[in-house]
Amino acid sequence: MYITLKDINKIYPNGFHAVHNFNLEIEKGEFVVFVGPSGCGKSTTLRMIAGLENISSGEFLINGKRANEKSPREREVAMVFQSYALYPQMTVYDNIAFGLTLQGVDEDVIEERVQKTAKILGLTEYLDRLPRALSGGQRQRVAIGRALIRKVGIFLMDEPLSNLDAKQRVTMRGEIAQIHRETGATTIYVTHDQTEAMTLADRIVVMKDGYIQQTGTPYDLYFKPANVFVAGFIGEPPMNFVRGKITDGKIAFGDQMLDLRAARPDIAALEGREIVLGFRPEAVALEEQENACPVTCRVELTEMLGDNTNVYITSGEQQAILKVDSHDTPETDTEITFFVPYESIYLFDGETENVI
C-alpha cells in the first residue's frame, strides 16, 4: 500500500480525543474522500497526514516507510486549503511558480512547468493577472496549480470548494476529477458535502465524532450503509427512518402497520425488538407494485425542483419525504398511497443503530 494509517489517534493537551483508532490503507493513484459533519475529525486526520499536526499514537507509513516524524516537505505532499492562500501582490504566474522559485529551480524549467500547469487548468490567459482580478473558481484553480506544479506523489485537499457558489462548485468538481485523471496522483480530499464525496471518490471514509463509521465505494455507502448515521448522511434528501418495535412481523408507521414478513424472511427472529426501518425518498413508487409495502399518508408540502419533486408527507406523528417525478406531483392536503419496494427497505438495530 502507498499510504497506511495504523491505529492513528489524536489527543490534544487539554485531553480532547479528536481522532480514535483510525485505520486506512490507500493505494497509489487512488482518490479517497473523508466526509462527515463539522468536528468529526476529518481535517485533523488530513493535517496529521500532511505533517501539520503531531500524531499522538499509531503509525503513519508512506510507501512502507514510517513518516510520523517527517516534516511536510520530507513527506512530499502538496496541500490545497479552504482559503486560497494566494499572495495578492503576485501575478498568477508568480503564485503558481512560488514553490519552485523557493527551491531555486532554473527559470527555464519553471517557465515550462508553469505553462504546462496553466494549460491543464485553463489559466494560460490569466498568468499576468493579480488574484483580485479573478473569480473564486479561477483563484481556486491557481491554488491547485501551485500544488500541482510541485509534482509530488500525494495531494491533500481540505474543503477546497466551500468558498465557491453552487455553479462554480459543480464546474470545479469536474475539473478536479479531470486533473486527477491526468496526473494520477494519490489524492486525499476532505469535505462535509456528500455530493462532492459521491461524485469524486474512488472510496469514501465516513467519519463521526472522531471514529470511522464506514469505508467503501460510493455505491457501497449508498446501497449498503453500515449504520443509521451513514444511511442518513449519504443521499439527498436523506433516508427516511421509522423507529418502533416489531410486533407480529409488523412495525407502526403513524396510524398504520407496515407488514415486513414478506420483505424480510428473518423478521420472526426480530419479534419484540426495537428497530429502525429506513427507506430512501427516491426508492418509492406512486403506482401499485408487487413486492412492495403500501403506505397511506397525507401530503403536507411539495417542492418542485425541476425533474423531480420533494413531497413531504405525514401519517399520524410520523413524517417522511418522497422524491417523485415532477409530472407525478400530488396535490397538497390530499391523501395518497405510496409503495416501498421490499428490496429498498433497510432494518437497523434500535440500540446500536447498526444494520441488521
Q: What is the pLDDT of residue 44?
A: 96
Mean pLDDT within 283-287: 95
Q: What is the pLDDT of residue 166?
A: 83
Q: Is the domain covering 240-349 a CATH 2.40.50.140 domain?
A: yes
CA distance 118 to 125: 9
131-176 confidence digits (pLDDT tens): 999 988 888 889 888 888 877 889 999 988 887 788 878 888 888 8
What's the pTM? Answer: 0.89
Per DSSP bridges, beta strands 318-325 and 308-315 are antiparallel
Confidence of residue 19 (pLDDT cuts 50, 70, 90): very high
The pLDDT mean for the chain works out to 93
- What's the distance, Cα to Cα, between the start and end of the chain in Å? 32
52-109 confidence digits (pLDDT tens): 999 999 999 999 999 999 998 889 888 888 777 789 999 999 999 998 888 888 999 9
314-347 confidence digits (pLDDT tens): 999 999 999 999 999 999 999 999 999 999 999 9
> Cell numbers 481535517 correspond to what residue?
43
Q: What is the pLDDT of residue 1?
A: 66
Q: What is the pLDDT of residue 241?
A: 97
Domain boundaries, the chain: 3-233, 240-349
Task: Starting at the earlier edge strand, list the strands of the sheet with 3-11.
Answer: 17-26, 3-11, 57-62, 65-66
Q: What is the pLDDT of residue 179?
A: 83
Give me the percent of the chain exceeding a pLDDT of 70: 100
Q: Which residues pair with 296 in a beta bridge?
A: 337
Give me the percent of the chain exceeding a pLDDT of 90: 75
Instruction: Look up the CATH architecture of domain 3-233.
Output: 3-Layer(aba) Sandwich (3.40)
